[in-house]
Chains A and B, each alone.
Chain A
Amino acid sequence: MPASGATASQQIFALVDVNNFYVSCERVFNPTLENRPVVVLSNNDGCAVARSNEVKALGIKMGAPWFQMKELARQHGIVALSSNYALYADMSSRAVSILRDYSPNVEVYSIDESFLGLNGLGNLWRSFASMGQSMRQRVLQWTGLPVCVGIGSSKTLAKLANHIAKKNPRFNGVCDLAAMPQAEIDALLAGIEVGEVWGVGRRIDAHLQTAGIQTVKDLRDAPLTWLRSRFGVVMERTGNELRGISCLDLEEIAPPKKQIVSSRSFGQLLHALPDLNEAVASHVSHAAEKLRAQDGTCSAIHVFIHTNPFREQDPQYSNSIVIPLPNASADTRLLVRAALFGLKKIYQPGYAYKKAGVMLMGISDAQTAQGSLLLEHGAGQRSEGLMKTMDALNRRYGRHTVSVFASSAVKSWAMRRENMSPCYTTRWSDVPVAHAC
């Protein structure tokens, strides 16, 4: 009996995922990284956000702080790189554009994972597994990125199949659960911990374990009514998905964001208001650009600052403020003015600040924005034209070509990225070298 939200006809999905994505991108352009342990560090070089298999084998966990693994890194010659988002974004869009040749229905789920709807495409291939192998081969040849493909009759099963493909070399990178005999599926699912299921977080995992649900097979075979009464409708839906009843559709067009956040820890601690002004103005510019890209306006801006809670020896302070705007706007000039007004209200001298950020709130469609009799500057057609020009210039000549707030030459608040690789694919000055000698 199909549960609510389930569609009657059989669905088929693939999840294509790049192995160790950030590390794999770095390796495409730097052969010396091959067969060596490599980690990519988060913003400000804080912790590991991507690990090569060699690093995983050393027992270094995702999110491990860099300062904790420095000793291990020295012993084993681990190469630590700062994250190079320009490179990763370009490589990701190349991989996605290859996948779009295989299916017209692609949901880009994250920078390194895409769901493909495969309904009706099976007849083009000997099997879905052979389609998966073809994708794998083509992405590897065209971009140098290794991918794994999981196929199943729900998104949850496709994701699980991807996990299986990755962990078991015998699948050669492609696992199709939809074409697998039931006994084999049962044996596989009985060997996978329930925490690996999409949407089962650490907290629910613990609750499931207490209730005697340890493996994915246990969860699949648990009565749906019990799942619902004990864990809620989301877990019931997961139960359905594991039984092959698709409840989650592809989301091909990302819904417009209701809130836009831009914030980041500073490369070093900041004390003075002018420095904070500059950081906040830069965050507003970034957020406003995103706002205009989705053709929206916002009606309030939330500004926050705080010190570093991990430096217990320092006096601590954190505060935030919401500044409502007289008219909904997407004009960087107006938003910066409002944000700096708010920052001035909450700023206290005498503290070492670690982080500042802004959140644009009350976002609505620019087309439906309500007019006002009292149009301030920063509203109307002139503003729209100016912002369009600004965005175009920044797109063409690089971010920060034109900005609203005067910025100093040395950005003391900028990200610390001490070991970033060149932007091989997005900057002429950074293209890799071919030796003819």
Chain B
Amino acid sequence: MANILPLGNETLLPYLRQAALSAPLYRLPLLLQRIPAGFPSPADEYAESALDLNTYLVRNKTATFFFRVIGDSMTGANIHDGDLLVVDRSIEPRHGHIVLAIINNEYTVKRLYRLNGVIELHAENPAYAPICFQEHDELRVWGVVTGAVSRFAV
């Protein structure tokens, strides 16, 4: 029997079991419209679910949380006061990422600068100085910001 898993000293292969279904029943989508008598709508065969912004903004639903922005230090990155931030905890923070960090017991949004042993948090607004970290300081990154959502007054 071919074997693609590293087995170590185990000699037993896992026995196959029926896949567990997470839901006891499945619902099928209804047709889009009632059928009067004769012909079904020619569009029914092409029915697709409508676009959902969740699928556009959220990569990992389980690890994604939303925050509300207060302040203007990130306007250069198109993050404005009142915007909604999409924060993904499952992403490993890297140099250049916009991150949510914990500074003085508050959540702060900044761009992570981490090059050649230098760790800083940069604002995207010249009015704000970078936050620098010394050798023994600890920078706590809560999550990586993957998007921002704005709504305009109408």
Contacts and interface: CB of A to CB of B under 8 A. Distances in A.
A121 B69 contact: no
Contacts of B17: 119-120
Interface stretch (B4-12, B29-37, B45-53): B4-12
B146 interface: no
Interface stretch (A46-54, A198-206, A278-286, A425-433): A425-433
Interface in A107-160: 119-124, 126, 141-144
Interface string B91-117: 000000000101001111110000000
Contact of B66 (A123, A252, A431): A431
B120 interface: no
A124 B7 CA distance: 8
A123 B70 contact: no
B85 A434 contact: yes
Given A124-B5, A431-B68, A432-B67, A144 B89 contact: yes
Interface residues of B, number: 46
B90 interface: yes
Interface string A400-437: 00000000000000000000000011001001111111
A435 B71 contact: yes
B106 A105 contact: no
Interface in B53-86: 60-63, 65-74, 79, 81, 84-85
B14 A434 contact: no
Nearest to B23: A253
A30 to B, nearest CB: 9
Contacts of B152: none
Given A141-B89, A437-B72, A120 B67 contact: no
A431 B12 CA distance: 49
A319 interface: no
A97 interface: yes
Contacts of B62: 94, 97-98, 142-143
B90 A431 contact: no
Contacts of B108: 434-436
Nearest to A104: B20
A142 B72 contact: no
Contact of B15 (A98, A105, A120, A143): A120
A154 to B, nearest CB: 18
Contact of B8 (A120, A126, A428): A126
Most B-side CB within 10 Å, residue of A104, A436, A437: A436
A436 B69 contact: yes
B13 interface: yes
B20 A433 contact: no
B87 to A, nearest CB: 8
A144 B88 CA distance: 12
B63 A433 contact: no
B101 to A, nearest CB: 10
A142 B8 contact: no
Most B-side CB within 10 Å, residue of A104, A126, A144, A437: A437
A32 interface: yes
A142 B63 contact: yes
Contacts of A167: none
A31 interface: yes
Contact of B20 (A141, A143, A252, A425): A252
A399 interface: no
A436 B65 contact: no
B67 A143 contact: no
Contact of B22 (A100, A434, A437): A100
Nearest to B103: A435
Interface in A14-71: 31-32
B38 interface: no
A120 B8 CA distance: 14
Given A142-B60, A435-B70, A435-B107, 9 more contacts: A31-B102, A97-B62, A123-B7, A431-B65, A433-B107, A435-B106, A435-B108, A436-B69, A436-B72
Report the 3 A-B pairs with minimum CB-CB distance, sorted nearest first. Answer: A437-B71, A120-B14, A436-B71
Interface of A: 31-32, 94, 97-98, 100, 104-105, 119-124, 126, 141-144, 252-253, 424-425, 428, 431-437
6 contacts: A252-B20, A431-B65, A434-B108, A435-B107, A435-B109, A436-B79
